[in-house]
Chains A and B, each alone.
Chain A
């Protein structure tokens, strides 16, 4: 760090540990729950804080499907995880790509109706998917995109958040850099590729995590757009377990929830390695 202030450092660690502890507590409980049996969970009040002995059983059932103690047979989570992975990646990459281009145009160019374009993009934040879901379904149906990866992902790519964030970031880019590129004779796309993109590393990494998770957690839209159970994403699998009318096998729900949280966590680690580290090194 800049100077050595051990007190501040200890304070920071304390804050972080407290914060992480509180924030992580519900997830810890979920993990504990996934290691118990359904009867144990339903029978313990309050929920116990100690792990049970059913770790392997719960996760095996959750991942690969099979018959539960209650006689239900659950679908395997593994294929659903793949569907979620595919659609989340497409959504994240798609959103970032088109938003980078749009934000670049809005900040670094002068063209008529520029303000209107920005607000048009921004307004997409003001009407959540749930409200317009019926008509969106009709459009997708007319385009014959039902039950397809395209139908699952493209309608969700209209993102204002990414464009907004990139706009914020691009506005902080010093004019000198733009001038320097110009003087070197570089065209706008050259500037974009060689100067802007590398600078945007942290933002892209952060956005990728967020948009990946956004795509990953979609529930209502896949519910409407897919009828083929092989196209069900993982959140639908979780919801299906909870909709057991009266007897819910919580250990399975929790095991599947934990499984569903692993890929996003992995994405965070990867993004950290690839983008941020590179940036910190570049600074030196």
Chain B
């Protein structure tokens, strides 16, 4: 009589076990983090999966940002999109306008019943990914901001004080002059020229880059970066280029390598460059804030973010959305967010994680790593929340092309900016037409 009972008990417990195992929901996460950053992503997933039994996050590397977006679009159209997709910041407007393709993070968090306070996130970071009505659309994951990198050894050799980086553009020009005089072939350069010299430049000086609050206020936004201030700045850079003080090193992040190698002494670029420089640079290194024009009222305000955020795709089961909510909750925990910030150099996502990092003395041990944060952790104005435009990828390329004409000496600054605006507005008009709700 014992055996059948035992067998039954065994059978029931096996069924329960299998049932429980099958109840673990799998969540597909497509990302574009290769190298050391891919390691970070995998560790986050491992940690989250180990901490609870209901959900399992499966991160998959799907190529660069544009490739993973193309893959996700193809998959979505075929009916098997991932649950979570990492999308770069310039794709934000495209994702927002995608009818029915995404599910806002705010909605997911609210439906899950988990604690969620939008105010806990750093305003300049989370605000970019928030809809006009205040609902958070995507989860800020890896955000960077432009800062001013400089080579302390080169400064010393040129007779400049290595502990006092230039903070205004006139000072940058002076420093560049001294560097050139001391024999330096590339005093100043920049990467991501639209992001650093036009978009962040505008927010830093509290002026608009595009109308309708840089696109936050509606699809009928148009570009306005040909104000006298913008023209003046590009003209200054053009003059610097003519006298060899500013050397254009290419689009995107092509200039980063020239700073790390010591070829260029000063460079505005992403705060995320910190890791490379400390690992591979053979010189004393300093970080300063993005330069500004002191005669502009309201400057410096705050800079705009780069990087990417996590979007949740639509059409998934409710239990899967609960899992996504749990994962985002996990990512927002102060310890987790602080660890991520310190490990990668990306901005801390929540105010609490910033304070935690500060208290731990991280910023003192690694001077300069707080520059990016302090540039962002301010109250934003309507004009400085960032730039969110449709067809932004094309607009940035147009800006690259037109400005290259200026660096080549073929175009005047105003002419280039006007032309960029004309071509860019065509893109915005097309986006508006295609996405009129």
Interface residues of A (CB under 8 A from B): 38-39, 42-43, 45, 68, 70-73, 133-134, 137-138, 141-142, 146, 220, 223-224, 227, 229, 236, 239-249
Contact = CB atoms under 8 A, between A and B. Distances in A.
Contacts of B28: 227
A141 B79 contact: yes
Interface in B28-74: 28, 32-39, 42, 60-64, 67, 70-71, 73-74
B263 interface: yes
A242 B32 CA distance: 11
A42 to B, nearest CB: 4
A240 B122 CA distance: 30
B189 interface: no
A14 B391 CA distance: 53
Given A223-B67, A243-B64, A72 B260 contact: no
A45 B67 CA distance: 31
A229 B82 CA distance: 15
Given A133-B74, A137-B74, A246-B253, 12 more contacts: A38-B280, A43-B280, A137-B78, A141-B80, A146-B80, A240-B38, A240-B61, A241-B34, A242-B34, A243-B64, A244-B38, A247-B35
B129 to A, nearest CB: 19
B35 A241 contact: yes
A103 to B, nearest CB: 33
B275 interface: yes
30 contacts: A39-B280, A42-B260, A42-B261, A43-B282, A72-B36, A73-B42, A133-B74, A134-B77, A137-B74, A138-B74, A141-B78, A141-B79, A146-B80, A224-B70, A224-B74, A227-B28, A227-B60, A236-B63, A239-B63, A239-B64, A240-B34, A240-B35, A243-B34, A243-B64, A244-B37, A244-B38, A246-B253, A246-B256, A247-B275, A249-B35
Contacts of B67: 220, 223
Contacts of A240: 34-35, 38, 61
A244 B82 CA distance: 22
B273 interface: yes
Given A247-B275, A247-B280, A229 B38 contact: no
B78 A45 contact: no
A3 B256 CA distance: 59
B38 A246 contact: no
B263 to A, nearest CB: 7
Nearest to A227: B60
* A146, A224, A243, A245: residue with the most chain B Cβ atoms closer than 10 Å: A245
Contacts of A68: 36
Given A70-B279, A246-B272, A247-B280, A134 B74 contact: yes
A130 B414 CA distance: 38
B61 A71 contact: no
Nearest to B256: A246
B34 A245 contact: yes
Nearest to A40: B280
Top 6 nearest A-B pairs by Cβ distance?
A244-B35, A243-B34, A72-B36, A42-B280, A141-B78, A240-B34
B276 interface: yes
A245 B33 contact: yes
A42 B71 CA distance: 32
Interface of B: 28, 32-39, 42, 60-64, 67, 70-71, 73-75, 77-80, 82, 253, 256-257, 260-263, 270, 272-273, 275-276, 279-280, 282
A115 B75 CA distance: 37
B74 A71 contact: no
B35 A245 contact: yes
Secondary structure call for the A interface: helix
A214 B208 CA distance: 49
Given A141-B80, A224-B74, A243 B280 contact: no
A248 B62 contact: no
B35 A243 contact: yes
A133 B75 CA distance: 11
Given A70-B35, A142-B78, A229-B61, A246 B73 contact: no
B35 A43 contact: no
A245 B257 CA distance: 12
Nearest to A229: B60
B63 A223 contact: yes
Contacts of B70: 133-134, 224
Nearest to A240: B34
A216 to B, nearest CB: 18
A249 B60 CA distance: 20
Contacts of A43: 261, 280, 282
A72 B282 CA distance: 21
A240 B63 CA distance: 7
Contacts of A72: 35-39
Contacts of B34: 239-245
